[in-house]
Chains A and B, each alone.
Chain A
């Protein structure tokens, strides 16, 4: 056996990181595009619920559309208007939205080496870093496939999310008291639906339960909007206090 050639081995590691040289076949490419469009349409359409909930919370149609255009990250947007709906100060809503937005920083860290966008392309595509575009690109095996998944999903969600936000806001403005239609209950349902997939993990269930309990206890003693921020401290505490799990090289007893 000849000794390993380091230049080749480094090259292989690099390729494993950014993907193999083989680009996706036309068939794979169209599957990626179809999946991206499917997820994009399913997600974009629920912009209608955000639009309706946002005007019900007292924001104007223009403010609602500005949130979808500039913030463009569903959970943060729902949080912002959710805090406004319970009478919280705009600052509390903004802080909650920003804390939820840190999730996208994490996605960006994982996506950047895979997508390899530079310069103005990076600045422009950063806006599209959300749950769905990450999910549809982070598992791809080549850079071309990852970019296709990311851009198809991200752009479809962006276009439809904004169109449907406007539709929801305009319709929501005309239906009268949102409580009659249970729109306030829909917001709680929206947060639960966003949380649901994360509850498969036992530690997450515990943290979510503690955060909910802390928030409920804080409701009577703090200003509206603050309980959620206080509960954010639970995440910090839990993250600092849980011991680092051992490396998962040997699954214990399974």
Chain B
């Protein structure tokens, strides 16, 4: 099942790229198409942040991940590069868990 999803989504993502380079550019002329296409990554990434940090299965929790996210936001506002942001988030959560194992 996981393999099927990996191959299906992988091939699908490639076909989305191929579609883009094969269609005429005027498809973008429709303002609604352009707006929705712009907003999809914004909405999905916003939701992914929330779910990744606050969801534990189908329950909502506040734990070390929340602190990790806050630290990541600080790092980003200081213009830290991607990898540094990840390390800051992970280290913050790891140190908190070391101090408070219940988190």
* A138 sits at the interface (CB 8 A): no
Which of A71, A192, A207 has a CB less than 8 Å from the CB of B49? A192
Size range of the chain B interface in the assembly: 35 or more
Task: Please name all residues of chain B whose beta carbon is closer than 8 Å to the beta carbon of A99 when the two chains form the complex.
Answer: 40, 44
Report the minimal beta-carbon distance from B97 to chain A, rounded to whole angstroms. Answer: 7
The stretch of A6-14, A19-27, A29-37, A177-185 in contact with B is A177-185
Chain A residue nearest in CB terms to B9: A94
Which of B13, B23, B75, B81 has a CB less than 8 Å from the CB of A42? B81
The count of A-to-B residue pairs whose CB atoms sit within 8 angstroms is 329
Task: Please name all residues of chain B whose beta carbon is closer than 8 Å to the beta carbon of A79 when the two chains form the complex.
Answer: 44, 48
Task: Please name all residues of chain A whose beta carbon is closer than 8 Å to the beta carbon of B76 when the two chains form the complex.
Answer: 192-193, 196
Task: Please name all residues of chain A whose beta carbon is closer than 8 Å to the beta carbon of B17 when the two chains form the complex.
Answer: 73, 101, 104-105, 107-108, 126-127, 129
Pair B46/A195 contact, Cβ less than 8 Å: yes
For the A-B complex with A70-B7, A70-B14, A188-B49 known, give 17 more contacts whose Cβ atoms are closer than 8 Å: A42-B81, A85-B52, A96-B44, A98-B13, A100-B41, A103-B37, A106-B37, A107-B20, A109-B23, A184-B52, A185-B53, A185-B93, A186-B87, A186-B90, A211-B44, A216-B51, A231-B43
**A interface residue numbers (CB < 8 A to B):** 42-43, 45-46, 49, 59, 63, 66-67, 69-73, 75-76, 78-80, 82, 84-87, 90-91, 93-113, 115, 117, 122-123, 125-127, 129, 179-196, 198, 204, 207-216, 219-224, 227-228, 230-232, 234-236, 238-240, 242, 244
**B interface residue numbers (CB < 8 A to A):** 1-14, 16-23, 25, 27-28, 31-32, 34-60, 64-65, 67-69, 71-73, 75-76, 81-83, 85-95, 97
